[in-house]
Amino acid sequence: MTLSEFSLARKVALVTGAGQGLGLVVFFASPAASYITGQVLAVDGGYLSHF
């Protein structure tokens, strides 16, 4: 899938930069996330919600 095809398939019409997920990384590295285990977070603009 090309980037333009992926962009058309997304539900969220927002293109973000690399720093957009930084808060999530900081959260998972903090003690506040100590009880979260075995999770996979898809950062795909809503693409997987089609399935």
Give the separation between CA 18 and CA 33, rounded to whole angstroms. 21
d(Cα 42, Cα 51) in Å, to the nearest integer? 13
Cα 7 to chain center, whole Å?
A: 14
Looking at residue 50, what is its pLDDT? 67
What is the predicted pLDDT for the residue at 3?
73
Domain that holds residue 33: 3-50
Are 43 and 14 a contacting pair, CB within 8 Å? no
pLDDT of residue 7: 66
pLDDT of 19 reads 75
pLDDT tens, residue order, the chain (51 aa): 777 776 666 666 566 666 777 888 898 899 999 988 888 887 776 667 766
User: What pLDDT was estimated at residue 21?
Assistant: 78
**How many domains does the chain contain in total?**
1
pLDDT the model gives residue 25: 86
